[in-house]
Structure 1
């Protein structure tokens, strides 16, 4: 086994932050015992013995000369140009095993540059850290659905001082440790997946994605217990916007054997302007990738906002529930639920219809919408259910209605049995109850299919 130390890619604008970059470079090499490749992504080329990859090297690696007007480009155009040519360079360094972690630092421009390069060039599981003035604000534009870590610089990265230096020291120590861990994984474990950078599942093991929210946690917990009896690995995604986007991105890459999309609440935030939207592509990737999926309507009774005083004015008179001091939930109305039901049906129409099913929990789509709970609203739920059924009526997609709530163990068992059958081609070891249940479900499906065809 090689004993060479791991290498950290240090990405920064050397024309404006050379002193700070050299401080981190020297910490990495001299105190933390790792190698460092300092990559200059500045507007004006810099010269220093510690710069391993110059600005010119970045363009040469792409097979072109730097644009003649590079120095005069507007800031946004400059950043996008350097990003375009830095991504393949960093990706090549990672694929060849030349680097084991990446660190960047900067203000808004440097953070935008570093984060976009890391997200595009470095897969999930590969260590990536940015020290940024932007880390204490809305970090979503920089992190997206990736596993990028951000550390707040507190002061601007503009001069070494007794506030900034300890923070840079911590960042150097953190990324050095992560680089060692990454190198150990590469030396001791199986090769990374070309799609995600994550070690592949063991032979015969299936990857199952599950979506969860606090108000559907009991359902997901039970599903995980059931799936533990089968050779599959479960990956639970918090339906926080970023969670849904990450799951969809991995679906596009063909990462999943099946998806238990139990919690589709992010659709409500996208429709109503909530803070946990996963965007308009939610519930589309599995359909286009032809991945088996069992979908339910978990937490579509709510849209998420921050503290109560951040709820938009037009919603102030609605049924609001303070989930915690940082989160206020708003009950969706019958008309909003009707729109959500239509959206679900429309997006699923493009799915592999033989391997897609929708399960409707008629007694409540979350822990808050069961009878006597704050979001109990039978009319709104009925509008949601009717819209889903009407939208899928002319398809072969199986729709199962149950007089149970989403967290009922028997409701979850039904969804899980169908998913395992569809995604793995085998059944979980069935109980007598499950065998009876599947026969009933299949008779419902056959009856409905025959009706649709006639």
Structure 2
């Protein structure tokens, strides 16, 4: 088993020397990648000059410029390419990095493109705060260093020792597990919210009958980013994007946005997808008193003490429909759009607070600009709707449009 150590050896040389010895003692082959721009006394398997070169940069020029931000960016990109090459050669079973904000940023970029399931552990001084910039939508494990990464002492020895033992154990398991077996079922990524759960449950049951394994992503921003990331990775045979509600948060300013690139990865990589406007009727906020004052006259629904939902308007629904249609039109693979004429969420039914046929109609009219559209006289949570999406996705995957 091989563990790759990625770090700034110019500032963290003693710590990486200690980690290399510790990992070797645990039975790991250790590959050291230097991402520092200053002189280092610790020999590396991939020098800082080699890493910079992989990013199209010159190490001496980076040193002379004295621009820390540019150096961090270049070394992160270069380290990512080194890791990609090592992974293709079958020489990575785990990655370990330690550092402060700069070292953690470099390591986070370096491991970002590695496949899900390959162990990635970063011991960081930043791990007790907002870790989104370091984790993103990947399975990066962060360990708080407690003390600064500044020498081996009683505390750092215990923490770094735990990190070495953890990554060695994970790498051993990863190496033993090996690549996916031919008998593994094809993977489908599906998006779900509480108000679209019956639809996804029906689709998942049907896809299970058809021989697929379904991974469900909660459409909470991070869930949507994770789904996009998995579509990027090449692991998915298809995407059942039934719940596109995160687009509403991005448009209106809610708290569960997955960013402007939501609903693009599958199309960009040619992954077959079926899409629906699930839960486009709502924008998410925190407790009722956190809803911005500019929305005071809007239709609000307190879902629970920590979640307040706001109904999207007719104009917002029309804009969301245009956005979805435009993104699917740019898809490089097969994509079919399903429209539930009976409503888009559990709150969008007669007698429920978000029932607004005019707003839904505005979205449906805009969505219909996309030619590969199926309109069903059903609510999104009617079992036949989810099953119909599953059956169509199966046909797309098999190449039968």
Q: Would you call these one fold, judging by a TM-score over 0.5? A: yes
Question: Aligned in 2, Cα 1:218/1:171: closer, same or farther, shift over 3 Å?
Answer: farther
Of 324, 329, 335, the residue aligned with 2:309 is 329
Gaps of 5+ in 2: none
Matched, 1:170 2:170: no
Structure with the larger RCO, 1 or 2 (CA within 8 Å, 6+ apart):
2
TM-score, reference length from structure 1: 0.77
Shift of 1:87: 2.5
Question: Aligned in 2, Cα 1:35/1:343: closer, same or farther, shift over 3 Å?
Answer: same
Which residue number corresponds to residue 375 of structure 2? 400
Of 62, 82, 94, the residue aligned with 1:89 is 82
| Structure-1 separation of matches of 2:159 and 2:305 | 30
Residues 174-215 of structure 1 deviation map (CA, whole Å, 9 limit, x = unaligned) = 2111110111123xxx4xxxxxxxx37648x54433221222
| Structure-2 separation of matches of 1:71 and 1:309 | 51
Which residue number corresponds to residue 409 of structure 1? 383
Question: Aligned in 2, Cα 1:131/1:324: closer, same or farther, shift over 3 Å?
Answer: farther
Which residue number corresponds to residue 367 of structure 1? 346
| Structure-2 separation of matches of 1:29 and 1:322 | 55
Residues 237-263 of structure 1 deviation map (CA, whole Å, 9 limit, x = unaligned) = 332334334434554566544322211
Of 421, 429, 433, the residue aligned with 2:395 is 421
Of 230, 239, 249, the residue aligned with 2:210 is 230
User: Where does 1:141-160 land on structure 2 (aligned, <5 Å)?
Assistant: 141-160=133-152
Question: Aligned in 2, Cα 1:132/1:314: closer, same or farther, shift over 3 Å?
Answer: farther
Determine which structure has more spread, i.e. the larger CA radius of gyration.
Answer: 1
Shift of 1:288: 4.9
| Structure-2 separation of matches of 1:232 and 1:292 | 14
> Between Structure 1 and Structure 2, how many residues are aligned?
401
Of 289, 305, 310, the residue aligned with 2:285 is 305
Matched, 1:139 2:118: no
2:76 and 2:105 in contact (8 A); partners too: no
Matched, 1:40 2:19: no
| Structure-2 separation of matches of 1:287 and 1:60 | 32
Shift of 1:307: 4.5
Residues 153-172 of structure 1 deviation map (CA, whole Å, 9 limit, x = unaligned) = 34433355555443333322
2:13 and 2:41 in contact (8 A); partners too: no
Matched, 1:7 2:2: yes
Which residue number corresponds to residue 19 of structure 2? 24
Question: Aligned in 2, Cα 1:105/1:326: closer, same or farther, shift over 3 Å?
Answer: farther
Structure 1 stretch displaced more, 102-111 or 134-143:
134-143
Residues 43-88 of structure 1 deviation map (CA, whole Å, 9 limit, x = unaligned) = 2121136x54443454577898633452542101111222233222
Shift of 1:229: 1.4
Which residue number corresponds to residue 357 of structure 1? 336
Residues 295-341 of structure 1 deviation map (CA, whole Å, 9 limit, x = unaligned) = 21111112223454544443355434444555443322222112111
2:115 and 2:233 in contact (8 A); partners too: no
Which residue number corresponds to residue 260 of structure 1? 240
Structure 1 stretch displaced more, 248-257 or 147-156:
248-257
1:296 and 1:360 in contact (8 A); partners too: yes
1:7 and 1:179 in contact (8 A); partners too: yes
Question: Aligned in 2, Cα 1:375/1:161: closer, same or farther, shift over 3 Å?
Answer: farther
1:43 and 1:71 in contact (8 A); partners too: no
| Structure-2 separation of matches of 1:256 and 1:299 | 23
TM-score, reference length from structure 2: 0.87
| Structure-2 separation of matches of 1:156 and 1:328 | 40
User: Where does 1:163-312 land on structure 2 (aligned, <5 Å)?
Assistant: 163-186=155-178, 190=179, 199=180, 202=183, 206-251=186-231, 255-312=235-292
Residue aligned with 1:150, SS: strand
Gaps of 5+ in 1: 1-5, 191-198, 428-454
